[in-house]
Amino acid sequence: MLEIRKSLQIWLTGIMVSVFMFSMYPTVLEASQLGFQKRASDVILNSLKVHPKHSFLRKFYTQLFFMPAWVREGSTSSATKEFFAHIKNDITLYRNSKLYQDTVLLEGMAKEIYSNRGTLVQKINLEFKISQLYKGYTDYAYFGSINWGAFQARISNLMVNDVSTEWVLHRPDINPVGMVENTLLGGSLGEQLQDAIPSIYRYKALQKELQRYMTLKANGGWQKVVIYGKFKLGAEEKGIPSLRERLSITGDYVSCGESQEGLVYDVCLQKAVKKFQARNGLAVDGVVGSGTLRTHNRSIDDRIITIRLNLDRIKWLNEQHSKRHIVINIPDFRFYFEEDGKLRQTMRVVVGTPNHPTPIFSDIVEYIVLNPYWNVPTSIIQKEFVPKLIKNSNAMKKQDIEIRDGWGKNAELIDPSTIDWHNYGEGTHMPFRFAQVPGNKNALGKVKFLFPNKFAVYMHDTPSKSLFGKNKRAFSHGCIRLQKPRELLKTFSTFNSNIDFGKSQEILKGKKKTRMNLKERVPVDVIYLTAWVDYDGVLQFRNDIYNYDKMQLKSFRKW
C-alpha cells in the first residue's frame, strides 16, 4: 500500500510540475501544442510504469517531468532535426556505423508516421527510439568507448603482480539530459551538442586527423613497404618508390627540386623520412632501419583505432582553467609548460619503467627544494639496498646515504654494521630511514619540484644526464626526471617574486637544503597519449610503453 501511495505521489508531482512548466513558458510551447503535450505526457508516464526503476528511459523522462522531447503533433521537434543533423555531420562516424544507420532509419520512420498521420502511440514509440539513440550517441561522443572499469581491474591485477600503478580519472563535465531540458526551455540542442565537444589537448584537431585517416582508408590506405637491409642517403633500392608513395599518402613527403623520383634515396626523400621519424618518436637520423620500417608498416586500421583511443582518453583528462599549465606526456617522454594556452618551454624527461610506471594523475606544483635530500622509499630499500647491505655493511656509504633510527627530527645515525639486515627483507617492517644527503651523487640532483600526492611522485634533477640522450627514456622508479631543471627554476622565478634566480644559483653551489614556497602555483597533469596533434598542428604517434593501449582495446566498445 505504501509503494502504491508513493508511486501516486510521484505521478501527481510530475503532472503538477508539467502543468506548471506549460504555463510558465508560453513562448516555448504554442497554445495549440499544449493539448498534445499533455496527452503525450500521459502516454509516456503510463508506458514507463512497466520499465525497471533504474532504466534509462524511466530516469530520462522522470527528469523531464514526462514531457516529450522529440515529437510534436504535426512533426518532429526542432531538437530532433538538430540532433539528426549533428549525428550526420559527425566526422568521426562511418556511414555504415550503427549510430549513423539508426539515425537514417529513424528519419525515415518519422517521415512515414507524420505523412500518414500516425497515432499518438506510434509517435511516442518514435519518441522512445530517438531517446535511446540520444543515449547511445552522447555516450559515444562525450564519454567514449573505453571500458574504464575493465581497465582499472586490469591495472589492479598489475598491482597484485608487483607493478604498482594508477590512472586517476576526471569524469567529463557533460549532462546530456540537462541539454534536453534546456532545449525544452527554448535552447538550441545543436549548439549545446557542439559546445560539449572537448577543446583541451587540441581535441578537435585530432578529430580532423581521424577524418583524414578515415578518408585515406576509404581510398585504399597504403601498401606495405618492402625494403631489405638498412640504407642511407644516396643508396639505391628497388623498394624506394613504395617508401616514397607511403610517405606521400600521409603528407610527409613533398616533391622538391632535388628529388630524382627514382630508385635513389635522395635528399628530398630523406627529409620526409626525418619528418616521419620525428612525429613518430623515433631517432631522427634519416636512416631507414628496421624500427623506422616497422613503424611505416603499421596499418591504416591500426592508426585509426589509435587515434580513436586517444580521443576518448582526452575526454577523461582534467580540464585546467589556469594561466599556466604543466603537461608531462609519458609515451612522449617530454615536459611542456604552457602559458595562456601557448607553449612556453619544453624539455625531455625520464619516466618510470614498465615495472615502476609513472601514475596518470593531476596535481599542483606548490614548492621547490634546492639541494634536496632523497628519502629512499621502503620498496627500494628492501628490494635493492638491503641485499647490498647483507653483502657489505658499508654499501650505503659509497652512495652518500645516511641511515637513521627513525623519521623524527632528532633521529640518530646508526652504524649499519650493527644491524642484522636479514631481518628486513621484503614485506617486513622497516624502522630505519635511508636518506641520501645533498650533493652531486644525490639521485634527485640539485633541484626538485614538489606537488604533494599519494604516489610520492615529483619532478626533479638527476646526476644521470646521459639518459636524456636516449630515444626511449623509461628508467625511473616512477618520478619524473627533468633534462633542464634549472631552466624550469628560472621560469618559475619570472612569476614568483619570492624566488630570486641569481640567489638560487648561489645556493645551488653549496649543499644546504633550501625550500621555496610558490606564491603562484602551477597545475600539472601527467597524461598518457600515444596519438595527439602538437602545438604546430602536426599529428604525432608514440609507442605504447606501458601496454595501456593494448589493455584498453581489449574491451573497447564498437558503435
Quick one: pLDDT at residue 410? 87
Quick one: pLDDT at residue 165? 84
Catalytic option among 296, 356, 460, 477? 460
Calculate the alpha carbon distances from 257 to 208, 240, 246, 269, 344 in Å: 30, 18, 20, 11, 35
- Prediction pTM value: 0.90
Quick one: pLDDT at residue 230? 82
Asked whether the CA dihedral 488, 491, 492, 498 is positive or negative, the reply is: positive
Sheet holding 433-436, edge to edge: 374-375, 433-436, 401-404
- CA nearest to 525, candidates 326, 319, 349, 316: 326
Q: Kindly give the residue spans of alpha helices, DSSP state H, lying in 395-524.
A: 485-493, 501-508
Give, in degrees to the nearest 5, the angle at Cα 504 between 502 and 506.
75
What is d(CA 156, CA 166) in angstroms, rounded to the nearest whole number?
A: 8
Quick one: pLDDT at residue 160? 64
Query: Is 479 a catalytic site residue?
Result: yes
What is d(CA 134, CA 103) in angstroms, rounded to the nearest whole number?
A: 10
Structural contact between residues 336 and 327, judged by C-beta atoms closer than 8 angstroms: yes
Quick one: pLDDT at residue 504? 97
Which residues in the chain come in under a pLDDT of 50?
1-27
**Cell 508516464, located at residue:** 45
Count other C-beta atoms under 10 Å from residue 533's C-beta.
19
What structural domains does the chain harbor?
2-141 (no CATH), 240-296 (no CATH), 321-530 (2.40.440.10)
pLDDT in tens, 289-337: 999 999 999 999 999 999 999 999 999 999 999 999 999 999 999 999 9
Query: Is 460 a catalytic site residue?
Result: yes
Quick one: pLDDT at residue 10? 46
What is d(CA 532, CA 331) in angstroms, rounded to the nearest whole number?
A: 11
Kind plus residue range of the DSSP H or E element containing 43: helix 31-48
Strand partners of residue 47: none
Three-state DSSP at 367 gives strand
- Rounded to a whole number of angstroms, the CA Rg of the chain reads 30
Q: Which residues contact 203 (CB under 8 A, 6 or more apart)?
A: 197, 311, 314, 315
Count other C-beta atoms under 10 Å from residue 328's C-beta.
21
Give, in degrees to the nearest 5, the angle at Cα 552 between 551 and 553.
95
Quick one: pLDDT at residue 31? 58
Count other C-beta atoms under 10 Å from residue 295's C-beta.
15
**Cα pseudo-dihedral 387, 392, 397, 398, rounded to 10:** -90
217-222's contacts with Cβ under 8 Å and 24+ in sequence apart are: 217/300, 217/301, 217/304, 221/249, 221/299, 221/300, 221/301, 222/246, 222/249, 222/250, 222/300
**Strand 474-476 relative to strand 342-352: parallel, antiparallel, unpaired?**
parallel
Structural contact between residues 178 and 192, judged by C-beta atoms closer than 8 angstroms: no
